[in-house]
Structure 1
Amino acid sequence: MTFLGLTGPALARARIFMIVVPAFLLFGYNQSNIGGVLDYPSFIKYFPPIDTVNTEGSAMSQNATVQGTVVAIYTLGCLIGALGVTQLGNRIGRRKSLIVVSIVATIGHLIQATSYSIGQLVVGRILSGIGNGGVNAVVPVWQSECTKTRSRGKNVVIIGIFIASGIAVAGWVNFGLSHISHNEVAWRLPLCLPIVFTLMIISSTMSFPESPRWLLSKGRDEEARIAMIALAGADQANQEAITMEMQTISRALQEASSSERGFADLFKNKRQRLFYRFCLAIGVNFGAQMTGANAISYYGTTIFRSSLGLPAERASLLNAGVLTWKIFAAILAYLTVDRFGRKPLFIISSLGMSVSMACLAVSVWVLQNHDTYAASVAATFFLFFYMTFFPLGFLGANFLYSTEIAPQDLRMHLSAIGTATHWLFNFVIAEITPIAFVTIKYRYYIVYAVIAASVAILIFFFFPETKSLSLEEMNNLFQEPEHWWQVTNYSNALRKCGGLDLETSEKLEAVRHIEEAEIRGVDE
C-alpha cells in the first residue's frame, strides 16, 4: 500500500513538507507576529490599555503589565493544549488528534484577526494557543515514531529550521506592513496569516500513515505492518526485518506496562526511572526558554528601539534580520545533531548564549550611560551572536529529546510535559519582559547569562546522550544502571557497543564492563 503514491524516503520528505513545515512555521510565526504590531497606531486605537509608546511613568508601567499579559496569555493556551492533547493522541491516534487541534487553532486565529476589544483578542489568543500547543506536542512524537534511528535526530531537529523560518516570516511581514501602520490591515493580516498553515495540516494529515508504534499499542498489527512497509519503501522492504522490528516494539510495550498509565506514573521513580526522565524533559525545555531567546523573538523590535535607541523603521529592519539569521544557525543544528549527538550541542549552545548575554548587558550599560555609537553596534552584534548559538541546541533538539527518552505508552505524556514546560516559561518571559525593560534594564540580560551557564553545567553532569539508540533501547538506558546518576556514563558505554538487541545479554555485560572501566578512569 502507498500513501499519495509514495513510499520510503519520498514519503518521509512529503510528510516533512506537508505536515512538519506548516506545523512549525505556525509555531515560529506565532512566536513573534504580535510583538511587531504592538506599537502600530491602528492597533493602539482598538487596544489603548497596552499602549507603551505614547505613555510615561506609572501609566507606562501599568500598560506594560497589561501588554505582557495579553501577549503571554497565548502561551498559557499552548500549555493547556500540550497537556490536553495527550489522552486524545493516545486514544484516537496521532493523525486524528492533529486535525482536531489544528481546527481549534484556526478558530482562535479567526477570532484574533477580527478583534475589536481586548476581551475578544484575549479569547482568540487563548484558543489559538490551545490549538498550537496541541500541534507542537503531537507532531514531534508522530515524526520520531515514523523515523529510523540513524536519521531520527535530523528528521526531528529539522523543525528548528521551520520554527526559525516562521519567526523570520513574521518579522519581515511586520516590517513590510509597518509602512502602512495606520491602516487596520497592518495588524489584522499578520494575525490572520497562520490560518494558511493550519488549513494545510487539516487537509493533508490523513494522506500519511499512522504511527506504527501507536497502531501496535492498540493491537492493530496488520495496519502497523502496512504502515511500516510504506515507511521503509515498498521495493526495499524486508518482510522478515519488519516482523522482527514489530516483535521488538511489541515486547517493549509489554515490558513497559500491562495496564494503562498516565501522568501520575511519571512521578514514580521505580525501575524505569520515569521521574528522572520527567525531570530531563522539564530541564531541557527550561533551558530552551529561560536563556532569553523568546525575549528577543517577542520583543526584538522593542529591544532595538528602546534599549538601543534606534529609529522605529531601523529597529524593525534589524529585528527581521536577527530572526532571519536564526534560520542559518538552525541549519547547522540539522547538519550536526546526528553526527555529534544531542548533548554536545546543548552544552555549546548554552555556553555561547551565556557569553552573548553577558556581552550584551555590558554593551547596553555603556550605551545607556554614555550613548556611544560603538556600544550600539556592539549590542547589535551580540544579538546576532546570540542567535548563532540558540538554534544550535534549543530550537528543535529540546522537543526531540523529550520524545526520545520516553517509553512508548508515555511518549505523548512526556512530550506534552516538555512542550508544556516550554510554554510555561514562555509565558514567564512574555509576561515579565516589558516590565524588566522598564525597571532593571541592562541587568535583565545578566539574568539570562547566569541561567545559560547553569544549564550547561546541569546538562554535562545529568543528561545522557541518546544518539544512535533506538526508541526501544531507551528503556535499557534508564533501567540497567544501579543508580539514576549512573545513566549518563551508561549511555556512553551503550553507544560504544553500537546499540544492542533487547535480548542480547552478552552486549549488556559488555556495556557494564565499559561503564565500570570509565568510572574507574581506566582506558580500555
Structure 2
Amino acid sequence: MAGGPAVNSGNDSGYTHLIDPRRKWYNNRRLIALNGWIVLLLITSSTNGYDGSMMNGLQSLPQWRDYFHSPSGGKLGLLNAIQNIGSLAAYPFSPYLSDGIGRKYTVMLGALIMCIATVIQTASQSVGMFIGARFLIGFGLTFAAGAAPMLVTEISYPSYRAPLTSAYNSLWYSGAIVAAWTTYGTFKIPSTWSWRIPSALQALPSVAQVFLVLFAPESPRWLLSKGKDDRALKTLAYYHADGNVNDPLVQYEYHEIKNAIEFDRTVAANVGWKALVSTPGNRKRMRIILALAFFSQWSGNGLVSYYLNRVFDAIGITDPTIQLLINGILQIWNLIWALLASFLVDRIGRRILFLTSAVGMLIFFVMQTVCSAQFAIHGSDAAAHAVIAFIFLFYASYDIAFSPLIVSYTVEILPFALRAKGFTVFNFAISLSLIFNQYVNPVALDAIQWKYYIVYCCWLAFELVFLYLFIIETKNRSLEETAALFDGEEATQHIQAEKAGAPEVRYDEHEKDTSDSSLENVSKD
C-alpha cells in the first residue's frame, strides 16, 4: 500500500471567480431564505441525536426502569438497537424514493412516519409497544436522513456547501442537548410523565418538516436528471443569483451539473447497485465510505453515546442526578467542537481534520483506559475524575472530524447517479455497526469491564493508519470536480471540457442586478 495521497487542494476551482463577492448569507434575502430551508433539513440529524441521548437519560431514570422492569443485558441491547433495526428495514426503499419522487418528498414521508411513531412511543403501555415504536422511528428516519443531507449539498450556495453539509451531522448534538436536559428536568416528576415528556418532544423536528418541507426548493440535480431543465435553471437562478438566469455562476453550475449527469449516464454507465464497485474509482469511494461508517461508531464513542450510565457506574459515579448533569454538559461541549470544525473544513481541509481527530482519539482513549484500570484496581477517586476529563477530551477529538465530515465527505465524493445508493450503503453500514455496538457493549462491559476498552485502543490505532493511507483531500472543489480525484484522466478531461465551454465572466463591481420576479414560486411544484 502506498502512502497518503498528495492531491491539489483545488483552490483554482472553476467556479470560484464566478461567485459575486457582494452576495453573502447575511445580506441577501434569497440566500437567507435558502439557508432557512437548509436549517429545516439539517434538523433531521437532531432527531437522531435526540434518540441516543434520550435513551441514555431514560436508563438513569428510576421511573423508566421501574415501569419497564429494569431491562438489562439482551433486552436493554434490543431497546437501544431496535431503532437501527428499523433503519435497516427501510434501506432497500430509501434510494429509490430519493431518486424517484425527489429529495424533499422523501424527507416529508420520513418525518410523517416518525411523528406517528413518536405518538406510539409516548403512549407506550408495555416494553413491546415501546420497542415497536422505536422500530418505526428508525424506519422513518432512514427516509428523512437519507434524503436531507443530499438535498442540503445539492441546493447550497457554492461558498457555503461544505460548512453547511458538515453542520448536518454536527447538529446530532443539538438533539442530544435537548434530550439530555429534558430528562434532567423531568427527573423529579413522580410519574411516568418523567419519561413520556422526553418521548413526546422527539417529534418536534419532524412536525416542523411535515408542515414546511414541501415549500423548500427541490434539488436542481434531481430536476435535471428527470428532464426538468427549466425548473432546475430557475431554482439555481432564484437562490444563487437573485433570479438572473444569465448569471455566469448559474450558467456554470447548470452546464456542469447537466454534463456530469449525462456523463454518468452515457460514459460511466453508473446505473444499478453493481456500479458501486464496477470501476476502480467507485471501489476506492466505497472503501472509504464503508470505513468511515464503521469508524464513526467503533471508535469507543458508542460506549458513552448509549451506555454512559454503565461507564459512570464502573468508576463509582452512581447518582442519577450527577450522571444526567454530566451528560447534559457533555452534549453542549460536543456541539461547540462539532460546529467549530464544520466551519473550518474548507480552511484546514478534510485530510488534516481526519488525521488530527484520529491521533487525539487514540491518545485520550488510551488515557481513559489507564485511568479506568487504576480505579478498578486501586479505587482512586482521582482516577475516576480523570476518566471524566478524558471522556471530554476524547469527544473533542472525535468532533473535529467524525461529527462534521462523515456525511459531507461521503456525499461529496459520490457522483450524482450513485449518490442516493452510495449514501444508503453508508447509512446501512452505520446501522450494522450500531446494532453490533448496542448488543455487544453492555454484555462486554458486564463480562470484562474496563479491559474491554483495550479492544477500542487497538482499533483506533488501525483507524489512524487507514485514514493516513486512503483519505483524499477534496476541499474547495465543486461536487462535479471531485470526480476527477477518483475517476482518473477520463473524468479530468470531461471536467476540463466543461470549463472550456463555461462562461469565463468575472463579476463587475457595478454589474446591475437583473432579478426575475417570475421565479418567486420555484420552490413549489
Same fold per superposition (TM over 0.5): yes
Shorter-normalised TM range = 0.7 to 0.9
Q: Does 2:108 align with 1:99? A: yes
Deviations 1:409-436 (A, max 9, x none): 1111111111222222122222222112
Shift, 1:17, TM fit: 2.9
TM-score (norm 1): 0.85
Contact map agreement 2:342 2:404 (CA 8 A) in 1: no
For the residues of structure 2 that align with 1:398 and 1:82, how far apart are their CA atoms?
A: 18
2:338 is aligned to: 330
Of residues 64, 81, 100, the one that matches 1:72 is 81
For the residues of structure 2 that align with 1:377 and 1:383, how far apart are their CA atoms?
A: 10
Of residues 11, 14, 19, the one that matches 2:41 is 19
Q: Does 2:151 align with 1:137? A: no
Shift, 1:75, TM fit: 1.4
SS at match of 1:257: helix
SS at match of 2:242: coil
1:269 is aligned to: 279
For the residues of structure 2 that align with 1:449 and 1:144, how far apart are their CA atoms?
A: 34
Higher relative contact order (CA 8 A, sep 6+): 2
Contact map agreement 1:77 1:129 (CA 8 A) in 2: yes
2:357 is aligned to: 349
Letter in 1 for 2:124: S
For the residues of structure 2 that align with 1:143 and 1:83, how far apart are their CA atoms?
A: 22
2:129 is aligned to: 120
SS at match of 1:442: helix
Runs (5+) with no aligned partner, structure 1: 1-5, 52-62, 488-493, 506-524
Letter in 2 for 1:166: G
SS at match of 2:230: helix
Percent identity at matched positions?
26
1:32 is aligned to: 53
Residues 7 and 422 of structure 1: CA distance in aligned 2, closer, same or farther (over 3 Å): farther
For the residues of structure 1 that align with 2:65 and 2:161, how far apart are their CA atoms?
A: 45
Deviations 1:333-376 (A, max 9, x none): 12311111111111111111111111111111111111111111
Count of paired positions: 470
SS at match of 2:326: helix
Shift, 1:237, TM fit: 6.0
For the residues of structure 1 that align with 2:252 and 2:335, how far apart are their CA atoms?
A: 39
Contact map agreement 1:19 1:200 (CA 8 A) in 2: no
Shift, 1:444, TM fit: 2.2
For the residues of structure 1 that align with 2:398 and 2:313, how far apart are their CA atoms?
A: 22
Q: How does 1:169-188 map to 2 (within 5 A)?
A: 169-180=178-189, 182-188=190-196
Range 418-427 or range 191-200, more displaced: 418-427
Letter in 1 for 2:37: R
TM-score (norm 2): 0.85
Residues 461 and 149 of structure 1: CA distance in aligned 2, closer, same or farther (over 3 Å): farther
Shift, 1:250, TM fit: 1.4
For the residues of structure 1 that align with 2:379 and 2:326, how far apart are their CA atoms?
A: 19
Shift, 1:81, TM fit: 3.2
Deviations 1:189-209 (A, max 9, x none): 111111111010111111211
2:476 is aligned to: 468
Contact map agreement 1:78 1:133 (CA 8 A) in 2: yes
Shift, 1:7, TM fit: 5.5
Deviations 1:211-247 (A, max 9, x none): 0010001100011011101220316664354234222
Residues 311 and 209 of structure 1: CA distance in aligned 2, closer, same or farther (over 3 Å): same
Contact map agreement 2:167 2:404 (CA 8 A) in 1: yes
CA RMSD of aligned residues (A): 2.2
Q: Does 2:166 align with 1:157? A: yes
For the residues of structure 2 that align with 1:282 and 1:308, how far apart are their CA atoms?
A: 37
1:47 is aligned to: 68
Contact map agreement 2:338 2:400 (CA 8 A) in 1: yes
Shift, 1:42, TM fit: 2.8
Residues 300 and 287 of structure 1: CA distance in aligned 2, closer, same or farther (over 3 Å): same
Shift, 1:83, TM fit: 4.6
Q: Does 2:395 align with 1:404? A: no
Letter in 2 for 1:265: A
Deviations 1:43-91 (A, max 9, x none): 233322x53xxxxxxxxxxx31211122111112223334531100000
Contact map agreement 1:89 1:138 (CA 8 A) in 2: yes
Residues 393 and 79 of structure 1: CA distance in aligned 2, closer, same or farther (over 3 Å): farther
Residues 161 and 401 of structure 1: CA distance in aligned 2, closer, same or farther (over 3 Å): closer
